[in-house]
């Protein structure tokens, strides 16, 4: 490459991952504790002539927000998997899976290949601690990379129609439930959505906690809720009624108890 911005950018790159890791290290060196970045760019496969491949990649490092029931939690490969799932769902990619661990700088037990429509499409995983340490990166760093051609080929269009921005403000609630450790978080979330009814505008699972002071064999699932009426400003009493329905239904279905401290 003629006249590169940096000496290490003087060559055609074959992967996005090194650049993402360099950006994480650079941000940390400047005092940024939590890094969430993405890039869409071109890589090259060695051939005659070179083959250009467009890719999209992202990296997560640091911690999520702090709730009143838990301390800050380190971002990891599960958070990266959530980013991947949201992206593929938004694009309508239905036929995808994660398979065996990829080669390269990834932790073998916390990484996988991304397969779309039966073909290799990218990689997802946590960078091996030795690699991160060698780059002066503190803490875990998770990376995901997808080939745009595979992504476009598997996309079936948005999974939902465009939503008109709401006219009325939401009422926000954070709820944490104690359930048996074997209880699937997805099943609890689905029951929560049903119980919330039409007033539950959105919900997300943002924390899973195991340990003191919870009873042995249990875990805490924390959900963030936005409650809203489509045609008026929602009253606090209406929001509380919806919350009460959710608490009652999860207690009935899973024996869930609302965590209060």
Whether this model's pTM surpasses 0.85: no
Q: What is the pLDDT of residues 125-174, one digit of tens each?
A: 999 999 999 999 999 999 999 999 888 887 776 655 666 788 899 999 99
Name the one residue in this structure whose structure tokens are 């969430």. Answer: 36
For residue 261, give Cα distances in angstroms to 4, 68, 177, 181, 215: 55, 8, 11, 19, 13
pLDDT given for residue 65 in this prediction: 65
pLDDT given for residue 159 in this prediction: 55
**pLDDT band at 40, cuts 50/70/90?**
very high
What is the distance in angstroms between the CA of the first residue and the CA of the last residue of the chain?
A: 58
Q: Quick one: what percent of the chain has pLDDT higher than 90?
A: 59
Please give the structure tokens belonging to residue 173: 């609630």
Instruction: Taking residues 41-55, report their average pLDDT.
Output: 84
For the chain, give every domain's residue range: 7-154, 171-258
CA dist., res. 147 & res. 55, Å (int): 4
Q: Check pLDDT > 80 for residue 12.
A: no
Q: What is the mean pLDDT of the chain?
A: 88
Whether residue 223 contacts residue 190, with contact meaning beta carbons closer than 8 Å, is answered with no
CA dist., res. 69 & res. 210, Å (int): 12
Closest CA to 63 of 222, 225, 206: 206
Closest CA to 60 of 88, 41, 32: 32
For residue 68, give Cα distances in angstroms to 63, 65, 116, 154, 222: 15, 10, 39, 41, 11
For the domain covering 7-154, report its CATH number: 3.30.930.10
CATH class of 171-258: alpha beta
Q: What is the pLDDT of residues 185-217, one digit of tens each?
A: 989 999 999 999 999 999 999 999 999 899 999
Whether residue 138 contacts residue 31, with contact meaning beta carbons closer than 8 Å, is answered with no
| Selection from 52-66, 113-127, 242-256 with the highest mean pLDDT | 242-256
Give the three-state DSSP class for 188: helix
Beta bridge partners of 259: none
């Amino acid at each position: 490459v003629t006249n590169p911005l940096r000496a290490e950018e003087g060559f055609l790159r074959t992967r996005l991952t090194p650049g993402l890791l360099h950006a994480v290290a650079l941000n940390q060196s400047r005092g940024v504790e939590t890094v969430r970045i993405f890039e869409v760019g071109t890589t090259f496969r060695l051939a005659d002539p070179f083959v250009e491949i467009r890719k999209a990649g992202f990296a997560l490092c640091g911690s999520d927000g702090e709730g009143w029931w838990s301390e800050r939690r380190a971002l990891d490969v599960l958070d990266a998997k959530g980013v991947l799932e949201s992206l593929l769902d938004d694009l309508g990619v239905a036929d995808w899976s994660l398979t065996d661990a990829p080669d390269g700088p990834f932790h073998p037990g916390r990484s996988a290949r991304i397969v779309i429509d039966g073909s290799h499409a990218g990689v997802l995983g946590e960078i091996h601690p030795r690699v991160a340490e060698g780059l002066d990166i503190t803490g875990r760093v998770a990376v995901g990379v997808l080939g745009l051609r595979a992504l476009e080929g598997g996309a079936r269009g948005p999974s939902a129609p465009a939503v008109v921005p709401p006219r009325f403000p939401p009422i926000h609630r954070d709820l944490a439930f104690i359930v048996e450790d074997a209880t699937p978080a997805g099943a609890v979330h689905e029951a929560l959505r049903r119980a919330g009814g039409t007033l539950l505008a959105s919900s997300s699972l943002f924390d899973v906690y195991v340990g003191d002071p919870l009873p042995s064999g249990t875990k805490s699932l924390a959900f963030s809720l936005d409650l809203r009426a489509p045609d008026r400003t929602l009253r606090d009493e209406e929001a509380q009624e919806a919350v009460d329905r959710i608490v009652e239904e999860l207690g009935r279905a899973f024996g869930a108890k609302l965590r209060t401290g």
